[in-house]
Chains A and B, each alone.
Chain A
Amino acid sequence: MSSTFETVAGIIAETCDIEIGTITAESHAINDLGIDSLDFLDVAFAIDKAFGIKMPLEQWTQEVNDGKATTDEYFVLGNLCRHIDGLVAAKTA
């Protein structure tokens, strides 16, 4: 079974036409991979479907806008995968 990171990296590679070898857990989706907001919604939809979750993008955006979190918290892929695992765990709890 693929790890969360492998699944997310595969989605990003396919959706955004990015070479999968360049995607790491330390990659920032925007700053390093150059994913724009429209493509990120494609990625979000694919992640929501793949994991059966609803990532709270509005809440995350609000936290960044309010200065309560940095974009690293949600856009660095290792961190994003940690949040996805949390949402999956909350769903199955």
Chain B
Amino acid sequence: MRLEYFQMVDRIVALDPEARTIRMEGLVPEESPIFEGHFPGHPILPGVLMIETIAQCGGWLVLATLRFGFMPFLLQVKEAKMRSFVSPGQLLETEARLIHDGSGYAVIEGSISSNGKKVAEAEIRYRVVPFPNDTLREQMLATARRIEVPERFFHAA
């Protein structure tokens, strides 16, 4: 993870658009400017970044489901729960399930676990729209390659 750049996904572990599921990993860095303020003497991952992590995880699932033809933008966060602190150096496993692929919107349920214990969960809703420009789409594809999204999900068959 590179928190300052909102890079919350290190690697996709499993991705199955047919089953509407995704699982990914991210290692919380030992050091980040974010921990200087959150909090001095007690560094923990901000809850909003846990939500962002779930949103990105589900977002990659939506992108793969739609074969990178449309971009999901965060629309709504519901039922978010932060169950325990996350510290620097902790490995996080995040998973999400697409519960509705609507017309122009999508809904996922996701959660983060660490050492087998659930640390956060949320339902995330996205507005799903055509990519606003080619630059963003190319950047998303480049990131997809970095985090090991299988190339067969990049384009419609």
A residues apposed to B, CB below 8 Å: 38, 41-42, 44-45, 48-49, 54-59, 61
Contact = CB atoms under 8 A, between A and B. Distances in A.
A59 B103 contact: yes
Interface residues of B, number: 11
B123 to A, nearest CB: 10
A57 B103 contact: yes
Interface string B76-114: 100000000000000000000000111111010000000
B75 A41 contact: yes
A49 B76 CA distance: 17
A38 B75 contact: yes
Q: Which of B100, B102, B125 is most buried by chain A, counting CB atoms within 10 A of its CB?
A: B102
A59 to B, nearest CB: 7
A48 B106 CA distance: 12
B142 to A, nearest CB: 27
B103 A55 contact: yes
B107 A58 contact: no
Given A38-B75, A38-B76, A45 B107 contact: yes
B131 to A, nearest CB: 15
A45 B75 contact: no
A48 to B, nearest CB: 6
Contacts of A42: 76
A57 B129 CA distance: 12
A45 B107 CA distance: 9
A57 B102 contact: yes
